[in-house]
Amino acid sequence: MKELTQKDWQEKFQNDENGVLLDVRTEEEVEQGFIPKSKNIDIYMGQGFIDEVEKLDKSKNYYVYCRSGKRSAQACTLMDQLGFNKTYNLLGGFNEWQGEKTEV
């Protein structure tokens, strides 16, 4: 896992043809807005989160975010342990996101 500032995270994702946005927040949080094209898997699902993550393509690069950056850091660590090669945590999370957002 690499922890990246918002600017670095966004730039790296925009230039990564193999990148996937992963939102690990709850459904209620997602309903308040999200980064376009992100896939949501709630880390609070416990084993359900692991089951869903295991279905993802491990050869992709995952740009992971949550509300503040703590849960996404945990998700990145877990994904690394499951054999994912490249995970990038968004420092500050969605709370500090200044890029494009989709409001629900």
Among 16, 19, 21, 25, CA closest to 100: 21
The residue annotated as part of the active site, out of 21, 35, 66, 73, is 66
> Is 66 noted as a catalytic residue in this protein?
yes
Residue 67's closest CA among 37, 36, 89?
A: 89
Supply φ then ψ for residue 11, to 5 degrees.
-65, -45
- What's the rounded Cα separation, in Å, for the pair 51 and 74? 16
Catalytic residues: 66
